Amino acid sequence: MPLHPHVEGLLNQMVAAGGKPFHAMSPQECRQVFGGLLASLPPSQAKLANVADREVPGPAGPIATRVYTPEGKGPFPVLVFFHGGGWVIGDLASHDSVCRELSGGVGAVVVSVAYRLAPEHKFPAAPDDCLAVTRWVVQNAGQINADAKRVAVGGDSAGGNLAAVVTQQLRDQDKIRLAAQLLIYPVARLDGVASKSLVENAEGYLLQRADMDWFRNHYLRSDADGTDVRVSPILAKDLSGLPPALVQTCEFDPLRDEGEDYGKALKAAGVPTVISRYDGSIHAAFSFFTVMEPGRRMVDEAIRWLKETLRG
């Protein structure tokens, strides 16, 4: 179907403003532009009981997190959230509004993770940090008024990749099955295999194929890392025993097919999985939920699904 009017309007505004693609900037410039763009959006209006920054022990030192606590009486379910940005950009501030909306809408504690970024910290720094924080939440849920039996992970794009990786790592290393995984247009592979959507949507829809190459080259130490299941979770030999998943994709997104392929692989392995495609929409729509109708529907679906899956 054609682009949604809200999506088309956003893309036209970016073209008129002369915005550069991600791959035409340095990581530092890209972080500033990305952060400024998201900071310019109307914020979430969710009412929360508390928002507090705290540090969690990590493999290379303390990891900054931001803990969102909903109104009401706990212990609450908890969502450990990993922000998107190609493992190179994004931070606690860029996804603050999204985390507020999810916390208030679901009635869950949300722990947002400031994992180490590339190229300063290449793979496996990001998944190592995300795994460490998720383990800490499982082991210390009481400290944040959360229920250790209702721990979910989630994230958008690179964050969706990290969420998928963490569920596999916890299953394999800790014998822990989390309660849910929210995979918002996730990166499922960086092994050089190009999906149909990566080719068809290579240019013109905010995230470009050249951007993905740029992110990949900053993130990986070598091409060999692309075949590691901690980078390409779709390559895992066994996907059984993983938590229920909601996989959200967008029609005009280079990552559409790999996300849907991962969802199909989860289903084939017996994992309860919902694959939800948003026609007429583009990568990053979820973050634009206050100004873009498809993004609003994506967030609403995520809230409904998490509430149902984490109800206990």
**Catalytic site positions:** 157, 253, 283
Question: How many CA within 13 A on the CB side of residue 254?
Answer: 20
Question: How many CA within 13 A on the CB side of residue 151?
Answer: 27
H or E segment at 101? Answer: helix 96-106
Q: Dmax of the chain from CA atoms?
A: 51
* 163: nearest Cα among 178, 176, 148, 174: 178
How far apart CA 231 and CA 161 sit, in angstroms, is: 8
Q: Return the bridge partners of 65, or none.
A: 54, 113
Cis check for the bond before 127: say yes or no (omega within 30 of 0): no
Q: Is 15 exposed, middle or buried (0-12, 13-18, 19+ CB in 10 A)?
A: exposed
* 64: nearest Cα among 30, 37, 90: 90
Collapsed DSSP state (helix, strand, coil) of residue 98: helix
How far apart CA 202 and CA 212 sit, in angstroms, is: 10
Tell me whether strands 76-82 and 109-113 are parallel, antiparallel or unpaired. parallel
How far apart CA 195 and CA 198 sit, in angstroms, is: 5
Contacts of 174 (CB under 8 A, 6+ apart): 135
What's the one-letter identity of residue 208?
Q
How far apart CA 228 and CA 12 sit, in angstroms, is: 38
Which tokens in the block code for residue 304?
Answer: 């409904």
